[in-house]
């Protein structure tokens, strides 16, 4: 299991607070709604804060995603599509990745799929239980991630189109419209406290000069920072969504295969698309396009984890394309096998390649320090937001942010371990460089450097 990383450590730290304290902390410092944090708070109380325990909710959510996608695929298309989609989601690198992360993304994906299933049942069956299920799941989605408003809005458009078509066909729509209005009412009532919560978060975030975004992000973006909209950025996010996280050069290479998308677009010509396909297409592409436009204003919001709920939809579409598209059995088997193989290769590279820019070996780095540090030694770290992850894997000696040490004076006694990460960020690299320079001016001497995945440690005597 990979090391806990920054965002997870922050969440675990918050989960250790009292319930009221955590909510206050979320309101003041975080940018996400509280559902996953509440689940994590409960998990920590029940099972402790071990890596497996804090990730258990995500592991369960991603495991539940498999049958959920099967049932949804079967309901929307056919059994074969459902089975293939379930197979894909089992080995989909991004689903596996977030299934191993103590954050809300796995839950967001699961709820997105259940919401689609519930909507389809509402449209095809219309019984009250499905309306209730749909309303409950969408409320849970809203409380899991703010960007759930995008798929929910798309689903409301689907409801509107369905109502219009029923009216055009002369079918009774009163009961249907009542269901829609009641769902809206439930959503509004449930979202009211969340609105105030979000507003406070935004205000605090604005006051801190960050706006609604700017969370630390692992891995350098592919597009040229500050440049105009980059189609390669879109392609990169698409590659991440399907084939997971890899080194930038690998992503660039895969993105360079974009002419094959021309082939796909040509192959789609003349293909009839069912209403079910259109709904899934909307849920797969809608959030991407909307966040792309948002990203033109605030670049860091165009990131795959913010439209992660669209990933199962993409996998469902792929399953439909390979298993439901070709009429004959053999092409379907070949296409499914080939796509599965590419997913497996992506999964292996994502999980095992030490150069994966999103894999940070904080555990290994801090365990090594703990095994070698003596009382009186100090661990300095940069950037500041490593505080919680350094605390989670406590090295057993005094720890301090590099910025604090520079403000108050560098430690003079014992060994100093300077731990730096996110060094692709020029600002952080410069901060670490300055720290190293300052340390070399003291009576310290560089003994050695230690390298871990995405982490470097300089040890000064």
Partner 1 sequence: VSAAGDPRLGPVHWPMPDQREARGRAFVMALICSVLAVWYLSWLLFGAHVGNPVLFGLLIAAESFNLIQAVGFWWTCSHQRMRRSRSPVGTEAVDVLIPVYDEPVDVVEPTVAGAAALHGSDVRVWLLDDGQRSEMEGLAARHGVGYMTRERNIGAKAGNLNNALRLTSAPYVAVLDCDHVPRSEFLDRTLGHLEDFGVAFVQTPQYYANGASGPIAAAAAAQQNLFFGPIARGKDGLDAIFCCGTNVVFRRRALEEVGGFSEDSVTEDFELSVRLHESGWRSVYVSEVLACGLGPEDMASYVSQQQRWARGCLGAIPLVLRSRLPWRARLQYLLSATYFLTGLTLLIYMSLPVIRIVTGAQPLAAATADQFLLHFAPYYVGALATVALAGYGTYTYDAFALAAGSFWIHVQAAFNSLLRRPARFVVTPKHGTIARQPRAVAPALVAVAVLIGAALYGLSRSHGAATLNNVAFASLHATVLLTAAIPALRLRPSAPLLPDPPRPAGPITRRRWPKPVAASMLAAAVLVPVAVGALGAKGLASHPTLSEQAHDAAESFFQRYVQPDGRVVRTDQGGDTVSEGQAYAMLLAVALDDRTRFDRVWHWTREYLQRGDGLLAYHWSNGRVDSDEPATDADLDAARALVLAGKRFGSDEYTHEGERIGDAVLDRETVDVGGLPVLVAGPWARSAPPVVNPSYFSPRAYADLTAARHDSRWDDLAGTSRAIATSLTAGPTLPPDWARVDSLVASGNGDVSASAAGIASPDNLAATSASPDSPASGLDALRLAIRSAESCVPADRRVAATLWPLYRRHPGSATYALGGLPDGHVTHAASYVAAAAAAKAADQNGRMQHLLDRAAEANSAHPTYYGAAWVALGRVMLTSSALGSCPD
Which residues contribute to the site for partner 1 (CB under 8 A)?
A: 220-225, 227-232, 235, 247-249, 252-253, 255-260, 262-263, 265-272, 355, 423-430, 432-434, 436-437, 448-449, 451, 456
Please, what is the minimum distance in Å from the beta carbon of residue 263 to partner 1?
5
- DSSP letter at 323 equals I
Please, what is the minimum distance in Å from the beta carbon of residue 332 to partner 1?
17
Give the 3-state secondary structure percentages of the chain, helix then strand then coil, rounded to 5.
Answer: 70, 5, 25
Question: Which residue lies nearer to partner 1 by CB, 203 or 449?
Answer: 449
Please, what is the minimum distance in Å from the beta carbon of residue 218 to partner 1?
15
Please, what is the minimum distance in Å from the beta carbon of residue 229 to partner 1?
7
Number of CB atoms found within 10 A of residue 222's CB: 18
Please, what is the minimum distance in Å from the beta carbon of residue 260 to partner 1?
5
Question: Which residue lies nearer to partner 1 by CB, 176 or 417?
Answer: 417
CA angle in degrees (0–180, nearest 5) for 89-95-97: 145
Nearby residues of 379 by Cβ (< 8 Å), 6 or more positions away: 366, 369, 373, 390, 395, 397, 398, 399, 400, 416, 417, 419
Question: Which residue lies nearer to partner 1 by CB, 415 or 436?
Answer: 436
Number of CB atoms found within 10 A of residue 300's CB: 15
CA angle in degrees (0–180, nearest 5) for 100-223-318: 55
* Rounded Cα–Cα distance for residues 377 and 42 (Å): 36
Please, what is the minimum distance in Å from the beta carbon of residue 173 to partner 1?
25
Please, what is the minimum distance in Å from the beta carbon of residue 284 to partner 1?
17
Question: Which residue lies nearer to partner 1 by CB, 180 or 276?
Answer: 276
Number of CB atoms found within 10 A of residue 80's CB: 17
Question: Which residue lies nearer to partner 1 by CB, 156 or 353?
Answer: 353
| 321 half-sphere exposure, CB direction, 13 A CA radius | 18
Question: Which residue lies nearer to partner 1 by CB, 210 or 229?
Answer: 229
Please, what is the minimum distance in Å from the beta carbon of residue 213 to partner 1?
19
CB 107 within 8 A of CB 63: no
Question: Which residue lies nearer to partner 1 by CB, 136 or 325?
Answer: 325
Question: Which residue lies nearer to partner 1 by CB, 207 or 263?
Answer: 263
Left if phi > 0, otherwise alpha if psi is -120 to 50, otherwise beta: which for 213?
A: left
**Cα→Cα distances 361→354, 402, 451, Å:** 9, 19, 10
């Amino acid at each position: 299991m990979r090391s806990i990383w920054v965002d997870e450590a922050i969440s675990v730290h918050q989960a250790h607070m009292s319930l009221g304290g955590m909510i206050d902390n979320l309101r003041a410092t975080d940018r996400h709604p509280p559902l996953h944090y509440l689940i994590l708070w409960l998990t920590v109380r029940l099972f402790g804060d071990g890596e497996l325990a804090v990730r258990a909710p995500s592991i369960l959510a991603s495991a539940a995603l498999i049958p959920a996608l099967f049932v949804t695929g079967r309901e929307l298309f056919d059994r074969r599509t459902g089975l293939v989609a379930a197979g894909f989601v089992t080995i989909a690198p991004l689903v596996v990745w977030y299934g191993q992360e103590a954050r809300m993304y796995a839950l967001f994906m699961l709820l997105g799929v259940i919401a689609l299933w519930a909507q389809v049942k509402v449209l095809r069956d219309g019984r009250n239980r499905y309306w209730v299920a749909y309303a409950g799941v969408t409320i849970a989605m809203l409380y899991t991630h703010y960007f759930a408003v995008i798929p929910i809005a798309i689903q409301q458009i689907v409801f509107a189109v369905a109502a219009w078509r029923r009216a055009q066909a002369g079918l009774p729509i009163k009961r249907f419209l009542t269901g829609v209005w009641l769902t809206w009412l439930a959503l509004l009532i449930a979202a009211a406290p969340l609105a105030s919560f979000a507003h406070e978060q935004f205000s605090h975030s604005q006051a801190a000069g960050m706006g609604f975004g700017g969370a630390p992000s692992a891995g350098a973006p592919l597009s040229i920072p500050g440049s105009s909209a980059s189609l390669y950025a879109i392609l990169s996010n698409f590659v991440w969504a399907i084939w997971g996280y890899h080194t930038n050069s690998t992503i660039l290479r895969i993105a360079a295969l974009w002419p094959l998308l021309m082939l796909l677009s040509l192959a789609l010509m003349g293909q009839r698309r069912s209403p079910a396909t259109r709904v899934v297409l909307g849920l797969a592409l809608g959030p991407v396009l909307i966040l792309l436009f948002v990203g033109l204003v605030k670049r860091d919001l165009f990131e795959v984890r913010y439209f992660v709920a669209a990933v199962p939809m993409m996998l469902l579409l792929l399953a439909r394309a390979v298993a439901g598209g070709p009429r004959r059995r053999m092409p379907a088997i070949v296409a499914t096998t080939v796509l599965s193989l590419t997913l497996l290769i992506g999964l292996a590279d994502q999980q095992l390649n030490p150069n994966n820019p999103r894999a940070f070996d904080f555990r290994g780095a801090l365990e090594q320090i703990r095994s070698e540090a003596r009382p009186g030694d100090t661990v300095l770290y940069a950037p500041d937001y490593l505080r919680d992850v350094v605390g989670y894997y406590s090295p057993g000696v005094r720890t301090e942010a590099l910025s604090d040490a520079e403000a108050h004076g560098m430690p003079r006694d014992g060994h100093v371990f300077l731990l730096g990460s996110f060094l692709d960020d020029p600002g952080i690299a410069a901060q670490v460089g300055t720290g190293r320079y300052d340390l070399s001016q003291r009576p310290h001497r560089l003994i050695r450097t230690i390298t871990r995945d995405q982490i470097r440690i300089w040890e000064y005597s």
